[in-house]
Chain A
């Protein structure tokens, strides 16, 4: 398959990877529902890669919708806002879906916030300019994004202002907007592209201007052609192009998306800017537009509530900090055969069991899987078939890394480039012996990190 995009060297795909069942049908055609304001939200003070926030409010203090409640403590960190109006409660420790224990600020609801369609219009509605954006100074855009508390909404939650701050040493020529959503089940980005293409385009133009990119391209997998059509229409006349990419996991991985579009490999341990690229998720771009044009922070995001274990799968616009339990209730509750709750998609998402667990900025979905959907084969010994090698998008030898990790052999782990693994799960998915390769490699990475500190 060719990318057929002038000036872009990529062929629309990358080497290796897997083709898991897509299972997007649960929530693909569900229009985005606006969640009624919940009684309570719990906002983690650490929602992003990098440093945490320091709270700027006190317990029992009343806050309005979108008021700043936490400030970033370092450059790679960002601002936190009240996602609903109300009263700040005593800080408490919560375990997030990813297993980390974090300080959080709970907010008890009370105060003015639009509901339903009015809320949607407030966040994504109205007209979004595609011209006259020269009026915004790059530094101003970057500052507005930081003040808006934006992080990568694709899941990694890297502070956006850091990505789009120009760096003289590593000039960026291309802004790639990630609309791949290669995780099975999830349709949050898809539904946003379908229903709110204009803020995505405006946000992309602003981010591109800030980082100094000469060209902007939105990458979408070819299983989302309706979104491609809508984006192309919205992008008409702006110079933004839409790249149709092969549907393959993990196409939405930063490095592999860059490979698919411009055929450059981000060096190991490097960043996209090393190959002149800035890359950000479509949802983030919509947030950028709102932060810069309306000076409004990130308080809500679209979340897919999907899978065979949820009564009424949906895409929901929900406030950050709402509990997964409230989202499940909104979608009709769990079915009797629900067996696993996953924050995110099934390949890289985190399983959790506490329904009070709050949504964070990086939560793209809640996948509720049934017993049949998570059916795992019996674990047997490695017969060295090499299917993990054929699946690994990083071109590693997963079984050898897992073996080294099992024996806590740090040198051998390093020789097999353990730290290049980003835990996409392609190897474990493919393994005929059903060996928990990712789990072993994760443990191995921890050993290597511990050895590095020592």
Chain B
């Protein structure tokens, strides 16, 4: 066809197509995934800075696992490769950032295979999954390898990396009432899952996602509002132990979850109102788990539970069309 078009004196080739004849070409599904990766950059950088080799190791394991799983499972379905949509890379990075640096190699691999295989491809691939794939993988290994992912699994007193030799702030508070200074929580020089420790990095990346409209602002706003309200109430009604609203927000993976996990468009509602409800519900569940369950943190289970409610929220939140009173 190109040969014809470049020949002189040949009439133009006219194409017919239904309207609209203009589309925004600057955005694409792939571009959204790349946006998430760009937004994850400060988080990854901070994790490399704080956890050094541990972070590099988990990233390598989870990325390799995710890409291999995507390749194998999609091939098993007899579909063309989907590696270029970059969604497997996003899952790999988010999964790595949600694991403790100390987790052995097979945990990352198993989590990645479960994330991609059972979390996503089994439903029909990108766009069809009900649950956030990375969280499906993480929940699987958390239950299967309770020791490695329990609070004690995060610590290695022998480690030369400072952060890893300490208890996580969430566990230190839950078990011993030790309150980590806010500055450490904000900057992220504490122990924890690789990507969750630095509130600053999460906020930077999250802001980028929201400005690019790759993530909907309604979800983090709803989530953080719920955490702030319940955290504030807990602070007022509980003992004056120094764990404030800001500790609730900066500690653990609230910010990482609010901006990078709950905002997964596939597993969150479609309408603005639905997104607010989804975010708020996630926040309520996070705080419920934190305050009343045996776990020090609850972001993963909160997101998975709300994922399950997403189809219902979509159904309840059909907006009123323009002109209907």
Q: Which residues of A pack against B, CB within 8 Å?
A: 15, 20-21, 184, 255-256, 259, 265-268, 270, 309, 334-342, 346-353, 367, 369, 373-378, 380-387, 389-390, 393-397, 399-400, 415-417, 420, 423, 425, 428-434, 436, 438-439, 442
Contact = CB atoms under 8 A, between A and B. Distances in A.
B12 A336 contact: yes
Nearest to A440: B18
Contacts of A256: 322
Given A383-B127, A384-B270, A389-B271, A425 B25 contact: no
A438 B18 contact: yes
Contacts of A268: 321-324
A397 B16 contact: no
Contacts of B122: none
Given A339-B13, A420-B322, A383 B265 contact: yes
Interface stretch (B27-35, B59-67, B295-303): B27-35
Given A381-B29, A384-B127, 10 more contacts: A256-B322, A265-B325, A347-B20, A380-B30, A384-B268, A386-B271, A387-B213, A389-B319, A425-B19, A442-B18
A336 B5 contact: yes
B240 interface: no
B interface, size bucket: 35 or more
Given A380-B29, A383-B266, A397 B21 contact: no
Contacts of A367: 21
Contact of B128 (A184, A381, A393, A433): A381
24 contacts: A255-B322, A267-B324, A339-B14, A340-B14, A340-B15, A340-B17, A346-B22, A349-B19, A351-B15, A367-B21, A376-B23, A381-B126, A385-B265, A386-B265, A386-B272, A394-B322, A395-B320, A423-B19, A425-B20, A429-B20, A431-B23, A433-B29, A433-B127, A438-B20
Contact of B12 (A270, A339, A395, A397): A339
Contact of B127 (A267, A341, A381, A425): A381
Contacts of B269: 386
A423 B27 CA distance: 21
Contact of A385 (B13, B32, B128): B32
A420 B320 CA distance: 11
Given A378-B28, A434-B28, A342 B21 contact: yes
Chain A binding surface SS class: loop
A268 B320 CA distance: 10
Interface in B161-218: 213-214, 216
Nearest to B14: A353
B316 to A, nearest CB: 12
A342 B18 CA distance: 10
A425 B19 CA distance: 7
Nearest to A415: B318
Contacts of A373: 22
B288 interface: no
B138 interface: no
A337 B4 CA distance: 11
Q: Which secondary structure dominates where chain B touches chain A?
A: loop
Contacts of B11: 334
A22 B25 CA distance: 15
B125 interface: yes
Contact of A351 (B17, B125, B321): B17
B156 interface: no
Contact of B319 (A380, A397, A439): A397
A394 B321 CA distance: 5
A284 to B, nearest CB: 23
Contacts of A389: 270-272, 319
A346 B16 contact: no
B70 to A, nearest CB: 14
Contacts of A442: 18
Given A383-B265, A415-B318, A335 B12 contact: yes
A433 B14 CA distance: 25
B26 to A, nearest CB: 9
Interface string B287-325: 000000000000000000000000000100011111111
A184 B24 CA distance: 13
B127 A397 contact: no
Interface in B229-278: 265-266, 268-272, 275
Interface string B44-60: 00000000000000000
Contacts of A438: 18-20
Contacts of A338: 12, 14
A379 to B, nearest CB: 10
B42 to A, nearest CB: 23
A400 B14 contact: no
Contacts of B27: 377, 387, 430, 432
Contacts of A20: 22, 24
A340 B17 CA distance: 8
Nearest to B264: A383
Contacts of B13: 339
A380 B325 CA distance: 36
A429 B12 contact: no
Contact of A386 (B23, B28, B275, B325): B275
Contact of A420 (B128, B213, B270, B323): B323
A439 B21 CA distance: 12
A386 B216 CA distance: 9
Contacts of B270: 384, 386, 389, 397, 399-400
A351 B29 contact: no
- Residue in A378, A380, A430 whose Cβ sees the most chain B Cβ within 10 Å: A380
A348 B18 CA distance: 9
Contacts of A380: 28-30, 85
A184 B19 CA distance: 13
A340 B23 CA distance: 14
B21 A349 contact: yes
Contact of B21 (A267, A337, A351, A417): A351
Contacts of B126: 381, 383
Contacts of A369: 21
A351 B17 CA distance: 6
A266 B17 CA distance: 31
Contacts of B15: 339-340, 351, 374
A428 B27 CA distance: 12
A334 B17 CA distance: 18
B190 to A, nearest CB: 33
A346 B20 contact: yes
Nearest to A339: B15
A339 to B, nearest CB: 6
B23 A377 contact: yes
